[in-house]
Amino acid sequence: MKGRVERVKMQKISDDGLLCIVEFSKVPFEVKRAYCILEADPELPRGYHAHRLTEQVIFCLKGGLRITLDNGKGKVKLVLNDKNSRGVIQRKLTWIEMDRFQPGTSLLVLASRDYDPGDYIRTYHQFIKETKKRI
């Protein structure tokens, strides 16, 4: 999926601190939920799942990390950090791995659906099975 990572711009304004703004009209799905991951543990990779229906956009507010996205046909690895104001879209049925967290890394995630544990595909084997069904 090289070259096909979709992005959403976050506006950053330096005043007394740093003001970070996302206009929901720029997000290519209706935002139903927002969550933050604050001070991610550098020793603990995250993700290792895909969503059946949920789509997300991930912004790095502080620090940096490596993200691997895999749509079952190809993988792309990218570095997302706080110098980069464009969030990364994880479409549905896209396996995600997040690692190489810098100390203090904090993320903002906007999601298209309410939290639902049944929406998670938690093994790579099952992910490949479900992506093959869609082709």
Can you give the binding site for ligand TYD, defined by CB under 6 A?
Answer: 33, 35, 37, 46-47, 115
Nearer to ligand TYD, 56 or 71 (CB): 56
Minimum CB distance to ligand TYD, residue 32 (Å): 10
Q: What is the DSSP letter of 85?
A: -
Catalytic entry in 49, 52, 66, 92: 49
Return all residues near 2 (Cβ < 8 A) that are at least 6 apart: 74, 76
58 to each of 5, 53, 94, how far by Cα in Å?
Answer: 12, 16, 13
Nearer to ligand TYD, 46 or 52 (CB): 46
Minimum CB distance to ligand TYD, residue 83 (Å): 22
Q: Look up 125 and say whether it is catalytic.
A: no
The helix/strand/coil state of 75 is strand
Positions marked catalytic: 49
